[in-house]
Structures are given as structure tokens and as C-alpha cells.
């Protein structure tokens, strides 16, 4: 059997049998790996702490015919705060499902894993509102995956700022208020929401969360981000419907 040692985040954990967990592990070099953690639900199991949902661990895996088996799991980070509210848990499940969809098995997934870990950290520590974290993840993940919108300037007149803008979701481009009016469109981003959207798409990784946003601007940004996800992703996420009822 092939042996694999890798860091990974448990993005799905399903009980099977009396004490086993079937895991989906998001890894930096191999995308999503399916693995069985036998006996991991027993409190005395050496796998108990490292194979729970949203545990970031170092895994020792052995490859089987259909899936890996977890031989060891050393915990590096546990996002306990994510489990403290239905809202946080629903958002974390959505982000995990989204990340897994962008990182299929066998493919390099370090950027989306790093983004997901950062979002879980900010959610865990309550450093940013859940709605803003959701929009940051959606826009950044889509941009990393080849769906980067063109937010440089108005598509028609090349105006950069000075008035509200309209983000054209199907085309992924901007129109200033004046050019949008000529097309019979109403702006959907105020100046702050647009600045935040540009920051999310274009900023360096280490500066991604280095901004705050007011409630109304966050609402506008979140609405545009959600619409852009629907445009770019060809299927709904199972966790999305429940998230919308609690967020």
C-alpha cells in the first residue's frame, strides 16, 4: 500500500458503523482525499481528536483500492468557535463544500485550502461578520479558479471612481452610474462596496482581510457575490439553502 503524509483539513466527517468516520480531507497537494478513520469515534482512539470536522491535522494515510485509511492524525488547529452557533456552522459547511468543489481529487489545492483556513480563523475568532467572510471567500475563490471579474474601470467610459457602479454579473464587468443609466440599469455597488470588492479580488494574500465594511455596503457586496457564484458555478451547493435561512 502506498503511504502518504500530508497536512489536511477535514471538510466532511460522516459516521459509519459503530465508531468509524468516513472523511473528506482537503489537502494542499492532492485536492480532496476520501479516507476511512476506523474507530475514531471512540474517546480513547488515537484518531479521535485529529479527525473531527474542521480539524486541521497532519495525516498519515495508506492507500486502499477505493479510499485511503487514516493511520495517524496529529492536530495542528481546531476551530472550536465554528461550532458555537448555527450561523457559524452553516457558513463553515458552505465554505467547505464550496472549497471541495473547486479542489477535486488529485489536483493541487494549496490556494483554496489557505483561503478556507483563513476564513475559518476569522469566523472562529469573530474578527469579521459572517456575511463579509462569505463574500470574501466567494469572490476570492472564484478569482483564483479562473473567474476573476474585471473591476478596473467602467467598461464603457473607463471611469474608475466618483459615483456608484453597476456590476454586470453575466459579463463580470463594471459600469459607472451614468453608463449604467444609458443601459437602463441601476447601480448595485456603492463606493465602499466597490472598493471592498476590488480589494478582495486584487489584494495580496497577506492583506486580504485588512479592511472593514459598513452594514449596507456589506449587504450590497454579499448580494453581488452570491449572484456571481450562481453565474460561475454550474450547480447549487447542498449547504446553501440552509445557510440562506440562518444568515
d(CA 247, CA 243): 6
Residue with cell 495517524: 72
User: Rounded to whole angstroms, how far apart are CA atoms 164 and 178?
Assistant: 9
Pairing of strands 3-16, 20-27: antiparallel
User: Is domain 84-149+165-246 classified as CATH 1.20.1440.120?
Assistant: yes
Rounded percentage of the chain residues whose pLDDT exceeds 70: 100
pLDDT at 234: 80
Per cent of the chain over pLDDT 90 is 89
Phi-psi region of 83 (alpha: psi -120 to 50; beta: other; left: phi over 0): alpha
Contact 112, 144 (CB under 8 A): yes
pLDDT at 1 over 70: no
- Rounded CA-CA distance 141/109 in Å is 11
Among 110, 171, 107, 174, smallest CA distance to 141 is for 110
Report CA-CA distances (Å) from 114 to 71, 108, 109, 132: 24, 12, 9, 17
- Residue 107 has a pLDDT of 81
Residue found by looking up cell 472523511 in the block: 23
* Per-residue pLDDT tens digits for 11-39: 999 999 999 999 999 999 999 999 999 99
Predicted local confidence at residue 104, as pLDDT? 75
pLDDT (average), residues 218-235: 95
pLDDT at 215: 97
Q: Is the pLDDT of residue 116 over 90?
A: yes
Tell me the C-alpha distance between 58 and 72, whole Å: 8
Does 2.70.70.10 match the CATH number of domain 3-78? Answer: no
pLDDT at 133: 98
For residue 205, is pLDDT > 80?
yes
pLDDT confidence band for 223 (50 / 70 / 90):
very high
- Give pLDDT, residue 93: 97
In sequence order, which residues have a C-beta less than 8 Å from that of residue 184 and are 6 or more positions away? Answer: none
Mean pLDDT, the chain, whole residue set: 95
User: Which grid coordinates are listed for 112?
Assistant: 483554496
pLDDT at 105: 72
Q: What is the pTM of this model?
A: 0.95
Average pLDDT rounded to a whole number, residues 142-165: 96
Q: For the chain, what are the domain ranges?
A: 3-78, 84-149+165-246
Q: What digits encode the pLDDT tens for the residues 154-204?
A: 999 999 999 999 999 999 999 999 999 999 999 999 999 999 999 999 999
Amino acid at each position: 500500500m502506498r503511504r502518504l503524509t500530508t497536512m489536511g483539513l477535514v471538510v466532511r466527517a460522516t459516521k459509519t458503523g459503530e465508531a468509524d468516520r468516513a472523511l473528506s480531507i482537503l489537502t494542499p497537494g492532492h485536492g480532496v482525499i476520501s479516507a476511512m478513520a476506523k474507530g475514531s469515534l471512540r474517546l480513547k482512539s488515537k484518531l479521535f481528536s485529529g479527525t473531527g470536522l474542521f480539524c486541521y491535522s497532519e495525516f498519515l494515510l495508506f492507500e486502499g483500492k477505493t479510499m485511503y485509511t487514516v493511520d495517524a492524525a496529529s492536530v495542528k488547529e481546531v476551530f472550536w468557535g465554528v461550532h458555537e452557533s448555527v450561523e457559524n456552522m452553516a457558513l463553515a459547511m458552505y465554505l467547505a463544500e464550496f472549497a471541495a468543489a473547486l479542489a477535486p481529487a488529485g489536483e493541487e489545492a494549496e490556494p483554496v485550502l489557505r483561503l478556507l483556513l483563513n476564513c475559518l480563523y476569522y469566523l472562529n475568532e469573530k474578527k469579521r461578520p459572517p456575511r463579509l467572510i462569505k463574500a470574501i471567500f466567494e469572490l476570492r475563490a472564484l478569482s483564483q479558479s479562473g473567474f476573476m471579474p474585471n473591476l478596473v474601470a467602467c467598461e464603457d467610459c473607463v471611469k474608475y471612481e466618483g459615483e456608484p457602479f453597476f456590476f454586470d454579473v453575466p459579463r463580470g464587468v463594471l459600469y459607472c452610474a451614468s453608463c449604467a443609466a444609458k443601459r437602463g440599469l441601476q447601480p448595485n455597488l456603492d463606493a465602499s462596496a466597490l472598493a471592498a470588492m476590488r480589494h478582495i479580488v486584487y489584494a495580496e494574500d497577506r492583506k486580504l482581510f485588512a479592511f472593514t465594511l459598513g452594514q449596507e455596503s456589506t449587504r450590497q457586496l454579499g448580494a453581488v457575490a452570491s449572484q456571481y457564484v450562481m453565474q460561475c458555478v454550474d450547480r447549487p451547493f447542498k449547504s446553501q439553502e440552509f445557510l440562506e435561512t440562518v444568515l
